[in-house]
Structure 1
Amino acid sequence: MNTTTKTLQFIHVNPLKLAVYEWGKSSPEQETIVLLHGYPDSAEVWDRLADKLSEQFHVVSYDVRGTGLSDIPARQKHFHSDYLIEDLKQVIAATSPNKAVHLVSYDWGSLQAWEGILGDRLKDQVASYTAMTPSLDAIGWWFRREVQKNSFEGYSNVVKRMTSSSYMVFFQLPVIPELSWRAGLYKVWPKFVAQLQKTTVPVSKTMLKDALHSIALYRENMIKPLFLPSSRKTTIPTHMLILTKDPFVPRAISESMREWVENIEYTEIDANHWVMLSHAEQLAQILSDYIGRHNQSKNAA
């Protein structure tokens, strides 16, 4: 029986306080896993998986700035990926100061993490990276190449992708997305997810706040990489999870990440976008197996 308890501490990343949750403590004998959540969630979405992983690992999650118990930035520009990566670096430094961690993310957690992984900005702090969503740069390159085909198939693929991701365009609009959440979208969101994904999403007390403020992630970070994608690469070992029932993440773009990652593995899971909720036990085993192959203590021995 797992007796590891979840603890809370606040880390200062000037001028904000970030809420950081831990299962266990960093030690030379244990690998540390850092879990990075997406939109419109908070770190709470990881709890079920973290409980299972903590049987073997030191586990860390945190509320991204503007969500959960973390402070809200004063301006939209403070949601830029540069600030998000600095938050991540400080969380890692505080919870695993002497050993690189294994980063796991989905949705906007992945999109922001890729900004630190590509170009190896996090090379000294991240031993391996498991992503469930490809980078914004990869999405930008995919759109560009489909258009350059100058064919019915290419344009059709672009239209299909834009249709399935229309909410991203919606979030670029001023005021209207906020009004939608305030009008009651946050109340029906769990039912919507349950119907679409056959998964029960925990109803967070901070969901409305999280959804409202985190819209800034879309507005501050999406446009440039989609229209002017970079060609940054990484040497950090990377594990790409392909969720076969996820309507938000196109398989072709996930598979294209091998172009930007020197050392990449793929694992397919018959699951949806919130796999950490619907398939927590299976995901924990998959992560355990992958991290076991990248165990720093064993590899150094």
Structure 2
Amino acid sequence: MPVSYDRSFQPQHRTVEVTGAQLSVFEQGNLHGPTVILVHGWPDTHHLWDGVVPGLVDSFRVVTYDTRGHGRSTSQGTVAEMRIEQLADDFLAVVDSVRADRPVHVLAHDWGSVQVWDAVCRPGAHRAVASFTSISGPSLHHMGRWMQSRLAARTPIALWQWFTQVISGMYTLFFMSGILSRTFFRVFGTRYLWSLFLRIVERVDRRDIHLAESFTDDMVSGLRIYRANIFRTVLFPSNRFTSVPTQLLIPTRDPAVRPASFSDIDQWAAEVDIRRVKSGHWLPFKNPELVASATTAFIDKHTAKD
């Protein structure tokens, strides 16, 4: 029988040792419920989920963490350590650390989703992960294969889809520019300006924006993930398949990831549910209640199969 969660209770904090870093992990909620791990992307920390967690804690044991180089987690400061393979290893180390008596469920956003895709596409991933809800973060290998397929099709629609995704992704070239992008975000990457951006562009209520005190440092540190992964995976993709049941929450107004880029996802996932949502990229800020309810429904669906 579910145990009511005391919302005045502060999350328990612990540290997980991984190769070259210490990850700050936070745990709260119903210790008797299924475990769900929430993984943030750039330039966020575990605070991305502050609005979502209240919708989960009554039913689930909720685990959030700061990925390496973000928030209270450490890093070595190298580009190589931000490769998706290492970040996926970090995620699996967190999975192992919770010592759940059954496979965990996962909710991830942006680069958090990208790294979880790498993990769930590994052999035997279904023994560790029971379900995966992904928001605005495709597998870079799937993205690369999709872009190749659009060029190969040579139809006006396919070429238009390829072109619009390339245009949407052009910002990553600036993010990979090294000292130029680091200097820009060191000067303009303040909590105030980012909050203003989310309020104007994403139409997020200011009360739903949760940013860490370390925000500017996180933004600059996290730029390494672009340099470490974009070219070598999107331009040289490999086939990656998962048997982990997957739910895609696809924001229809995402300026970075075009909804059409998920059109071939059935090739790479044994079971996938797709839900399109009228939102921009930061859906966890824009509509945390929807994120929590959709994740809960998907977890319940697959918990019932256990």
What is the TM-score of this pair, normalised by structure 1? Answer: 0.92
CA contact (8 A) 1:33 1:59 kept: yes
CA contact (8 A) 2:77 2:221 kept: no
The equivalent residue for 1:194 is: 199
Partner SS for 1:20? strand
Give distance in 2, aligned partners of 1:272 and 1:152.
Answer: 26
CA contact (8 A) 1:101 1:125 kept: yes
Q: Which amino acid aligns with 2:162?
A: V
Deviation string for 1:151-195 (max 9, x for gaps)? 555444333222222211211212111010112233422211211
The equivalent residue for 1:68 is: 71
CA contact (8 A) 1:13 1:90 kept: yes
Deviation string for 1:174-231 (max 9, x for gaps)? 2111010112233422211211100143232111111111111111111122111111
CA contact (8 A) 1:101 1:128 kept: yes
Instruction: Provide structure 1 residue ranges, at least 5 long, that are not aligned to the other structure.
Output: none
Give distance in 1, aligned partners of 2:301 and 2:160.
Answer: 40
Give distance in 2, aligned partners of 1:14 and 1:157.
Answer: 39
- Of the three residues 287, 296, 302, the one matched with 1:288 is 296
The equivalent residue for 1:178 is: 182
Partner SS for 2:127? coil
Deviation string for 1:117-156 (max 9, x for gaps)? 1234532210111111221112112221222244555444
The equivalent residue for 2:116 is: 113
Matched, 1:81 2:84: yes
Task: Describe the shift of the 1:270–1:156 C-alpha distance in structure 2 as closer, same or farther (beyond 3 A).
Answer: closer
Question: Pairwise CA RMSD of aligned residues?
Answer: 1.9
Q: Which amino acid aligns with 1:8?
A: H
Instruction: Provide structure 2 residue ranges, at least 5 long, that are not aligned to the other structure.
Output: none
Give distance in 2, aligned partners of 1:162 and 1:267.
Answer: 23
Greater Cα offset, 36-45 or 146-155? 146-155
Task: Describe the shift of the 1:207–1:48 C-alpha distance in structure 2 as closer, same or farther (beyond 3 A).
Answer: same
Matched, 1:241 2:268: no
Partner SS for 1:123? helix
Give distance in 2, aligned partners of 1:263 and 1:151.
Answer: 28
Aligned length: 296
CA contact (8 A) 1:241 1:269 kept: yes
- Of the three residues 153, 160, 165, the one matched with 2:164 is 160
Partner SS for 1:73? coil
Give distance in 1, aligned partners of 2:122 and 2:212.
Answer: 35
CA contact (8 A) 2:48 2:210 kept: yes
Deviation string for 1:36-60 (max 9, x for gaps)? 0011111111011112200111101
- Of the three residues 131, 135, 139, the one matched with 1:135 is 139
The equivalent residue for 1:19 is: 24
Give distance in 2, aligned partners of 1:173 and 1:142.
Answer: 25
Give distance in 2, aligned partners of 1:171 and 1:93.
Answer: 32
- Of the three residues 210, 213, 221, the one matched with 1:205 is 213
Give distance in 1, aligned partners of 2:134 and 2:79.
Answer: 25
Greater Cα offset, 145-154 or 61-70? 145-154
